Amino acid sequence: MAFEGGCLCGAIRYRATGEPSVVCHCHCTMCRRAGGAPVVSWATFAMSDFTILKGEPRRYASSARATRQFCPRCGAQLTFQYNDRAKDEIDITLATFDAPASLPVREHVWASTRLPWVHVDEGLPIRPEPAEPKP
């Protein structure tokens, strides 16, 4: 199975193949600030299953633990990747996929930092922090 997507202006296009290991709504402060939204949704794929098809995203260290990629033209946040663990995985912003509805969200993570006016009631698991990556 292949999923394609890209940034708002179309300068960056990507493809992810296979099945995502995680599809979640993240409530952490860093994702909220990077995405400019109260919640940012992600799909986690094996790094070997992710390909940039067009353009060249910019990278920046959003913390000592992680790097994010974005479109240098429109600023759309595209990916998140831990530096020190799970280097073989990449999180892709769900909203940048061409067909985000084809990747249903399975859980909420970092719910301990959820904004109090964001109501979670769809019956998905709610985790204070994300599960640790598998060894």
25: confidence class by pLDDT, cuts 50, 70, 90: very high
Distance CA 9, CA 63 (A): 26
Cβ-count burial 117-127 (b if 16+ within 10 Å, e if not): eeeeeeeeeee
Q: What angle do CA 76, 80, 84 make, to 5 degrees?
A: 155
The structural domains of the chain, ordered by start, are: 2-107 (2.170.150.70)
Does the reported pTM lie above 0.85?
Answer: yes
Q: What angle do CA 50, 102, 129 make, to 5 degrees?
A: 70
- Give every strand in the sheet of 50-54, ordered side by side: 2-6, 13-17, 50-54
61: confidence class by pLDDT, cuts 50, 70, 90: confident
- Per-residue pLDDT tens for 106-121? 999 988 888 989 887 7
Res 32 pLDDT > 60: yes
What is the biggest distance separating any 2 CA atoms in the chain, rounded to whole angstroms?
A: 39
Give yes or no for a contact between 23 and 105, defined as CB atoms under 8 angstroms apart.
Answer: yes
Determine the pLDDT at residue 71.
97
Determine the pLDDT at residue 135.
37
134: confidence class by pLDDT, cuts 50, 70, 90: very low
Here the tokens at position 34 are 């990077």
- Per-residue pLDDT tens for 66-105? 899 999 999 999 999 988 765 789 999 999 999 999 999 9
